[in-house]
Amino acid sequence: MGCPMTADVVEERILEREHESLRVGLSTLQGAIEDAHRLSRPELAERVARSTAWMHRAFLPHAAWEEAWLFAHMDQETGSPWTTRGLRFQHEQIRELASALEKASTVAHERWTREIEFALVAAMARLDALLSAHLAQEELFVLPLLGEKLRG
C-alpha cells in the first residue's frame, strides 16, 4: 500500500496537470495566429470559435478554481493577500481579453473586412501573450512555493 498524498501534494499535481492541459489549448490559439494569413474566412472563424470555447471550457474554470481555492490557500499560508494579487489581476485581464476576442468574433461574423480580420488576429495575439506569461509566472513562482510547503 502506497503512502497517502497530502493536500499540498494533491494541489501541486492538480496545478501541474491543469497547466499541461492548458498548454494544449494555448497551442491551438497559437496555431490560429500563425495560420491566420493563409486561412479562409470560415476557417479563421472556426479557429477563433474553438479558442473561445476552450477559454470557457478550460481556462476560465481553472482560473476560478485557482482564485477560490489555491490562491486563497496560499494567501492564508503566507499571511498576505499580496502573494497572489498580481496573478488575480492577470486573471481579470485574461477574462477581459477573452471577452474582446468574442466581441471581435461577433463583428467578424456580421461583416468581414481586412481591418476586422487584423483586429481578430491582434486580439488572439494579445490573449496568447498574456496567457503564456501568466502560465510561466505560475510555474516559476507558485509551483516552487507549493514545493517549499511540501519540504517545510
pLDDT by residue (tens digit) across 58-68? 999 999 999 99
100 vs 5, more confident:
100
Quick one: how far is CA 123 from the chain centroid? 14
N-term to C-term CA, the chain:
25
Closest CA to 48 of 35, 59, 67, 65: 35
- Which pLDDT score is estimated for 152? 55
CB distance 66 to 87 below 8 Å: yes
**Cα radius of gyration rounded to whole Å, the chain:** 18
Instruction: Inform me whether the pLDDT recorded for 150 exceeds 60.
Output: no
Report pLDDT for 59.
93
Cell triple for residue 54? 476552450
**Topology at the third CATH level for domain 7-151:** Four Helix Bundle (Hemerythrin (Met), subunit A) (1.20.120)
Q: Domain ranges in the chain?
A: 7-151
Task: Check pLDDT > 80 for residue 2.
Answer: no
CA quadruple 136, 16, 63, 121: dihedral positive or negative? positive
pLDDT at 78 over 70: yes
Q: Are the C-beta atoms of residues 98 and 107 closer than 8 Å to each other?
A: no
What average pLDDT score do residues 86-113 get? 89
What is the rounded CA–CA span in Å between residue 75 and residue 73? 6
Q: What is the pLDDT of residue 21?
A: 85
33-74 pLDDT per residue, tens: 999 999 888 888 889 988 999 999 999 999 999 999 888 888
pLDDT of residue 149: 62
